[in-house]
Copies of this chain bind each other. A is one copy, B any other.
């Protein structure tokens, strides 16, 4: 029996490291405590090109319980410049965008098979007649201005490309590239090495992701607990609370 819905965080090292001290993945887990499982699928160094190989494994089309939401946080490595130390990770902008399209299409297909319905308003998280959660996909665009492998200007192009793809498909996007640069001294405040997040940077990502989820029927306070809260359990008749939840 699947009790809780799951939310998958798919991406590169920014996702892989999201459970370090003050990490945005850990904060999401805490926020959705007893309501949804946060599943981390972050792969340090991965580009969209390599991420495509994982799609069918992480989001199998045959699954009857796909995640209700997913964050796709890729591009920081794709934006590595050709002719520099991280050249092997470079993925040209147009291919990056096409790869993102493939990822979004795959997520859409993975979700289709579940509800057996073509009436799903996708990718907006909504509830169908059976009150099932639907997929929510968030593409995240990142500043990643680590020099000498990357420049802020080029990563800006990738961030724009990411937003374009999200708009094409009507999925949500978070433009961290512009969001972070609203704050003076963002380079040191939000990034530890020009690429990875400081605790403050993690906080920004967490807040932006929560903002999207809250606006898409995936607000933690509104979601049901998987099991009764202890204050609802009658110490003299504990069975009652569990029976009421059909447990």
Contacts and interface: CB of A to CB of B under 8 A. Distances in A.
A247 B53 contact: yes
Interface stretch (A33-41, A174-182, A213-221): A33-41
Interface stretch (A149-157, A161-169, A225-233): A225-233
**A interface bracket (residues with beta carbon within 8 Å of B):** 35 or more
A113 interface: no
A186 interface: no
Interface string A17-30: 10111110111011
Interface string A52-63: 011001001000
Given A44-B230, A46-B230, A231-B45, A21 B19 contact: no
Contacts of A235: 88-89
Contacts of A44: 229-230
B54 A227 contact: yes
A122 interface: no
A242 B34 contact: no
